[in-house]
Structure 1
Amino acid sequence: MNEAAAEGHSPMIPQPAATAEELRAALVRIAPSQVAAYDAERTTAMEAARARVDAAPMRRFLRQWALTVAIMRHPGRAARLSELEARACEVEDLSEARAIATEVSAIQREAAVEAGLSDQAAG
């Protein structure tokens, strides 16, 4: 990883295609601690898709993890999102809550564009 990526200013890896295999391979590289959750959620989504004979559960799963990878491949962006989520749990001032929500939404929109999901609502 280069110095800019280590500081969070550039992506650690290119954005993978939103396929189960490519997203998992990306997680192995950038967030190995998330692989078990990914595998469990993939199994659940596949079982739901088979039970309903409907691809929607797998589409939702792939969309969510594509967005997650898009965020996590930028360490600075991922850290900022975590910081905002932690603050949101403690904030009492409505204007501060709105500012946090606006910034979280902007992070999700930017990641959605990178993941090729920009025509869908992020979040």
Structure 2
Amino acid sequence: MTVQRGEPSVPVVPQPPMTRDALRSAVRQLDLARLGEFDTELGEAFDRAVQMSSTTPMRLFLEKWATVVAILRYPDRARRLHAAEQELADVTISEDAFRQARTAIREVLDAASREVLPDTHR
């Protein structure tokens, strides 16, 4: 199993505010290749918000990308997630390796989510 535990104590960049411009800037800094994905999803969220007469799609978009940034700003966290995703993509892995990879993904997402939405993790 290639998934390793542990994260650095210092992130590459601070966690930005949960605003469109701040998150876009962070994505540009941390993973320029995902900027197009960010912009596409922003447009889709805006369209859904207008169609639904609700801010919920925009809030969900911001929460998702704040979580992505919370992962990317720790290189070890991002590597751990990527390694676990690669493990899960291998249809020949053992059940134990599958469980370990699934646990690693859950731990990374939980850690990132605690940074983004600390009030929901008590």
- 1:37 maps to amino acid: E
Corresponding residue for residue 107 of structure 1:
108
**Please, what TM-score do these two structures have when normalized by structure 2?**
0.85
Corresponding residue for residue 72 of structure 2:
72
Corresponding residue for residue 99 of structure 2:
98
Find the residue that maps to 1:17 and give its secondary structure.
coil
Find the residue that maps to 1:107 and give its secondary structure.
helix
Corresponding residue for residue 38 of structure 1:
38
Find the residue that maps to 1:16 and give its secondary structure.
coil
> Which segment is superposed worse, 111-120 or 98-107?
111-120
How much identity, in percent, do the aligned residues show? 29
Q: Larger relative CO (CA 8 A, sep 6+): 1 or 2?
A: 2
Counterpart CA distance in 1 for 2:19 and 2:64 is 11
Deviation at 1:116? 2.6
- 1:26 maps to amino acid: A
Displacement over 4 Å in runs of 4+: none
Q: Deviations over 1:8-33 (max 9, x none)?
A: 72211000111111100111211111
Deviation at 1:60? 1.2
Alpha carbons 1:70, 1:114 under 8 Å: kept: yes
Alpha carbons 2:80, 2:104 under 8 Å: kept: no
- Unaligned stretches of 5+ in structure 1? 1-7
Alpha carbons 1:109, 1:118 under 8 Å: kept: no
Tell me if 1:13 matches 2:13: yes
CA-atom RMSD, angstroms?
1.6
**Please, what TM-score do these two structures have when normalized by structure 1?**
0.84
Corresponding residue for residue 22 of structure 2:
22
- 1:49 maps to amino acid: A
Aligned pairs, how many? 113
